[in-house]
Amino acid sequence: MAAEATHGGSEPNHARRFATIWIVVSLIATPLVVLFVGPIMPPGNGSAQASGHVTDNTVLIGMATPVLLLVLVYLIYAIVHFRAPKGGAGAVLEGPAISGDTRIQTTWIVVTSLLVLSLAVYGTVRLVEDGAGSGQGASPAWPASGKKLPVQVIAQEWAFTYRFPTYGGVETTHLVLPVNQTIELHVTSLDVIHSFWAYQLGVKADANPNVDNVVFVKPTKLQTFEVRCAELCGIWHGYMFDHGRVVRPAVFQVWIAEQQKRFAASKKYLPPYSTKYVPEPARRGG
């Protein structure tokens, strides 16, 4: 794109023009995208972890906007400035053969590497805070701080059930959590691999048999959230969904007391609470 003589006049410095246009457009568009698209990024602000994901997505879209504009501006610029003139005046000129330009190549590699490395650092920092709503295995490397309410998520073909070890180990069919309280979820499975995905809470953790997968979440607003299985587990995988609720602490206490009463008949049959269970082979058909 260096200035060249063509018939009739000198060629402008396309590189400088293009770069100028790109920088100006990026400086206008990127803040607009961050301000207006950022707040509506998924998964919403149902928990501290979900809010973190909104921030992460906003950062990503903010970084992606200039990259996208680089491609679009170049495309439009090329269409406008390098198209054949009307009336077909003169022969189609071919530019000089491109040979390696060390400066451009080096710049390209350095810039893209910096982008990727910066994202790696950013992602690591976010993970180290409290796991960012993902499972950390049985011994979390980055546990959340403060008092936590342990809740076990038990996946089986094809429903989730939940146990509350600090409330007598009561098991329930629905998940209700107190707001503004850090929850320590212990996710496991009784049969095949599943994945516990509470979308609005920004939580997704694999549920593997004989494995305790710990994930931390702090719901920050009263809400109803969706629970789905996110790992293909058989014919009813798509139906393995439910709705959970985040309620005030006092309402949670009333609810858990009701569950203890409601499921009293099964209490004597439940095994002692454990972070994982290995159902006997005798209980598998055949």
Partner 1 sequence: MGVLAKKLLGIGVGVVVAGVLIGLYVAGWATSFPKTVAAVSTRPVVGVSGTQLTLQTVAAIGPKYSPSNPDWVSYLVKEKGKWVHSTVFKVPANSIVHVTVLQYDGDSGLRNPFLSQVQGTLNGRETVDGKSIDAIDPEEASHTFAVPQLGVFIPLPGVPEEAKNQCEFAPCTLAQAHRTITFTFRTGKRGRYRWQCFVPCAAGWIDGNGGPMQTLGYMDGFLEVT
Residue 8 Cα to chain centre, angstroms: 55
Instruction: Specify the length of the chain in residues.
Output: 286
Q: Give the nearer residue to partner 1 in terms of CB position, either 12 or 279.
A: 279
Phi, psi dihedral angles at 180 (to 5 degrees): 60, 30
Distance between CA atoms of residues 118 and 148, nearest Å: 32
Binding to partner 1 (CB under 8 A) within 31-90 occurs at: none
Select the span of 18-26, 79-87, 186-194, 250-258 touching partner 1 (CB under 8 A).
Answer: 186-194
Binding to partner 1 (CB under 8 A) within 136-175 occurs at: 154, 156-159, 161, 171, 173
Q: Give the nearer residue to partner 1 in terms of CB position, either 93 or 264.
A: 264
Shortest reach from residue 92's CB to partner 1, in Å: 35
Q: Pick the closest to residue 203 from 173, 221, 226 (CA basis).
A: 226
The site for partner 1, by CB under 8 A, has a size of: 29
Q: Pick the closest to residue 25 from 83, 80, 57, 71 (CA basis).
A: 71
* Sequence-distant (≥ 6) Cβ neighbours of residue 77 within 8 angstroms: 14, 17, 18, 21
Binding to partner 1 (CB under 8 A) within 189-218 occurs at: 190-192
State the DSSP H helix or E strand holding residue 195, giving kind and residue range, or none if neither: strand 194-198
Q: Give the nearer residue to partner 1 in terms of CB position, either 191 or 212.
A: 191
Shortest reach from residue 190's CB to partner 1, in Å: 5
Q: Give the nearer residue to partner 1 in terms of CB position, either 80 or 265.
A: 265
Binding to partner 1 (CB under 8 A) within 221-250 occurs at: 234-236, 239, 242
Task: Count CB-CB contacts under 10 A for residue 246.
Answer: 25
- Asked if residue 29 binds partner 1 (CB under 8 A), the reply is no
Shortest reach from residue 279's CB to partner 1, in Å: 5
Angle at 121 between CA 120 and CA 122, to 5 degrees: 90
- Identify the bridge partners of residue 183 per DSSP, sorted by sequence position: 149, 217
Q: Give the nearer residue to partner 1 in terms of CB position, either 20 or 173.
A: 173
Task: Count CB-CB contacts under 10 A for residue 172.
Answer: 19
CB 11 within 8 A of CB 5: yes
Shortest reach from residue 154's CB to partner 1, in Å: 7
Please identify which residue in 10, 98, 99, 269 interacts with partner 1, judged by CB under 8 A. Answer: 269
Which residues would be at the binding site for partner 1 (CB under 8 A)?
Answer: 154, 156-159, 161, 171, 173, 190-192, 234-236, 239, 242, 263, 265-266, 269-271, 279-280, 282-286
